Amino acid sequence: MTVVEAVVARSVLDRQPQDTGTVFPADVAQLICWIKVEGAGGASIHHVWFHGDTQVGDVELQVGGSPWRTWSRKTVPAEWTGAWHVEVKDAAGTVLKRLDFTVGQ
């Protein structure tokens, strides 16, 4: 399985990420981790969300074909500012991609 594209975005429209970036305002309310993978039809992947070093979410996503686009959403409380990251992991727990971003700075 290969992660071809991966971004953090504010929304998804027509299966494409919108308003991507690495810095978001404290009042963003929610963010999306959007990825495109190849070579993973029928597999599952995880988006593991972290605020600082604390895991705050783990979303399992099914991959239906190759290539495949999928995404997960995370609610971002206004007081949860600072460093964040999302790890894209395969079913065995191997980190395929890490996306670092900042909220409220």
What percent of the chain shows pLDDT beyond 90?
95
* Mean pLDDT of all residues in 35-59: 95
Domain boundaries of the chain, sorted by first residue: 2-103
How much is the pLDDT for 41? 84
The DSSP letter of residue 53 is T
Phi, psi of 14 (to 5 degrees): 55, 45
**Predicted confidence band of residue 60 (pLDDT cuts 50, 70, 90):** very high
The DSSP letter of residue 52 is T
How much is the pLDDT for 40? 82
The domain defined by 2-103 folds into Immunoglobulin-like (2.60.40)
